[in-house]
Homo-oligomer: A and B are copies of this chain.
Amino acid sequence: MSDAVTIPALDYVFHPRSIAIAGVSAKEGPGFGGGGFVSSLQEVGFRGPIFLIHPSAPAIRGLRCYPSLLDIPDEVDYCISSVPARFVPELLEACITKGVKVLHLFTAGFTETGDAERAKMEQAVVARAREAGIRLIGPNCMGLYVPNGRLAMMGGQPAEAGPVGMISQSGMNAGEFVRYALPRGIRCSKVISFGNGADLKAADFFDYLADDPETEIIAAYLEGIQDGPRLARAIRKAGAVKPTVILKSGRTAEGSRAANSHTASLAGSLQIFDALCRQAGAIRVESVEELVDMAVTFRFVKRVAGPNVCVVGGGGGASVLAADDLGAAGLKLPPILPEAAAKLAKVTQEAGTSIRNPIDTMSMWQPGGFEGTLRPVLESENVDMVLYHTSFGMGPGARFGNERDRSRDNALALGKLQAEFGKPIVVAIRPATTVEGFAYSEEFQEFCWRNGLATYPSIARAGASLARLVRWQESRIPG
């Protein structure tokens, strides 16, 4: 982790004291666009004033409207543009006159349209902004989610901050990252959706997050490579000081074409990008889900002594497939040592169970059986980590006593044992298929992460993540 305590130069971008929004409809509900930003900022509790720009409405959603940015009596640090592209140059001029520091262009319809005139307009806007010293986020993006700055780009984004910084060329993938990560205990320092990256680019944000004292883990979704050498430097800088995980789209011809249509990105060669990541000590993944999985892994597992995992949970078939999934990922399932097996034999029923590895035993659902099964495993020298798997709303577990109490007790025990033995315990929770099962799963998941445990929605995804962690650690051992 970085020891930097200096405030990075771009920090002011993430901490505006006041915001103006241009392009909020007086009619529409709290939908997409301008109105969406109003409701997101109100929901997350933005601490400064929000000024709306509207040609005629006196107020919208309780917020005072002004005919133009220049009519606002107070200072404006940050302006969000939700007006059509053709009005952006005029809005930019007003920002310059007003002394706005950052213009976030939610507005799309620039280079990504493939239209030469519109590409030219984007270039002109960037040139004018640079000349005037205004930084642009976008165009064609959702902007910022900064819990400590009380900025949010979408509803449901909490004010609670955490150590994960995220850079995304897609607002949707930024939103999905936050949404998937939240119930698994991931909280964010800064999330940045930067779209076409006309002014501020991925490299700027990697640089910033590498220096940001609030950020310990960096995740990114990239569609294109802008200014390759500078991006490479920034990724190397980030990868050297913090776990850095990158999802790069455009791994197929289909995806490259779509990326170009989305953010005007030229995807570039995946082989070259892959080599860059390896050099930089960054991990490349292939889906938003894997990006979240690695954030969870770095946040809660942090590090592991080796590739040897012991699988514990009920269900023979699940155990066999777990062994396949973990083996295929590159992890090892060492046979349980004789002394551990002897202890397990004492708490394990005979029928339908296995006390090798995976350990498939009904004893875990009996009083004292949960810790009684896990302790001998964690004591074993040949076990570096434990994967516990379960599900809710079906199976034998659903029938044994009070499922909710047991799940809380189990999460507490897992957290306690992880701390006591200093070995990671991760939890795979198979998907629920009923509303009740889902509610139980979510509750158990929260008990888990609040007790310091990494959770995954499948054994395969846990295995892939842990294997990536092991390989990443190996790659960082100085040769």
Interface assignment of A407: CB less than 8 Å from any CB of chain B: no
Q: Closest Cβ of chain B: how far from A334's Cβ, in Å?
A: 10
Q: Closest Cβ of chain B: how far from A153's Cβ, in Å?
A: 11
Whether A182 and B433, one on each chain, are in contact in the complex, defined by CB atoms closer than 8 angstroms, is yes
Which range holds the interface residue count of chain A? 35 or more
Residue with the greatest number of chain B CB neighbours at <10 A, chosen from A107, A351, A394, A439: A351
Rounded to whole angstroms, the CA-CA distance of A431 and B432 in the bound complex is: 11
Interface assignment of A354: CB less than 8 Å from any CB of chain B: yes
Given contacts A85-B351, A398-B155, A399-B29, contact A287 B254 (CB under 8 A): no
Q: Closest Cβ of chain B: how far from A442's Cβ, in Å?
A: 7
Of all chain B residues, the one with the shortest Cβ separation from A257 is B323
Whether A433 and B317, one on each chain, are in contact in the complex, defined by CB atoms closer than 8 angstroms, is no
Whether A324 and B433, one on each chain, are in contact in the complex, defined by CB atoms closer than 8 angstroms, is no
Can you list, as one digit per residue, whether each of A372-395 has a CB less than 8 Å from chain B (1) or not (0)? 000000000000000000000011
Of all chain B residues, the one with the shortest Cβ separation from A114 is B356
Q: Which residues of B contact A33 (CB under 8 A)?
A: 351
Rounded to whole angstroms, the CA-CA distance of A323 and B223 in the bound complex is: 12
Residue with the greatest number of chain B CB neighbours at <10 A, chosen from A286, A326, A394: A394
Q: Which residues of B contact A396 (CB under 8 A)?
A: 31-32, 36
Interface assignment of A342: CB less than 8 Å from any CB of chain B: no
Whether B252 and A328, one on each chain, are in contact in the complex, defined by CB atoms closer than 8 angstroms, is yes
Indicate which residue in B155, B252, B320, B433 contacts A170 across the interface (CB closer than 8 Å). B320
Whether A319 and B262, one on each chain, are in contact in the complex, defined by CB atoms closer than 8 angstroms, is yes
Residues of A within 8 A of B (CB): 29-33, 36, 39, 84-85, 106-109, 112, 140, 154-156, 168-176, 179-180, 182-183, 221, 223, 249-255, 257-259, 261-263, 286-289, 314-328, 332-333, 335, 350-354, 356-358, 360, 362, 394-396, 398-401, 430-435, 438-439, 442, 457-458, 460
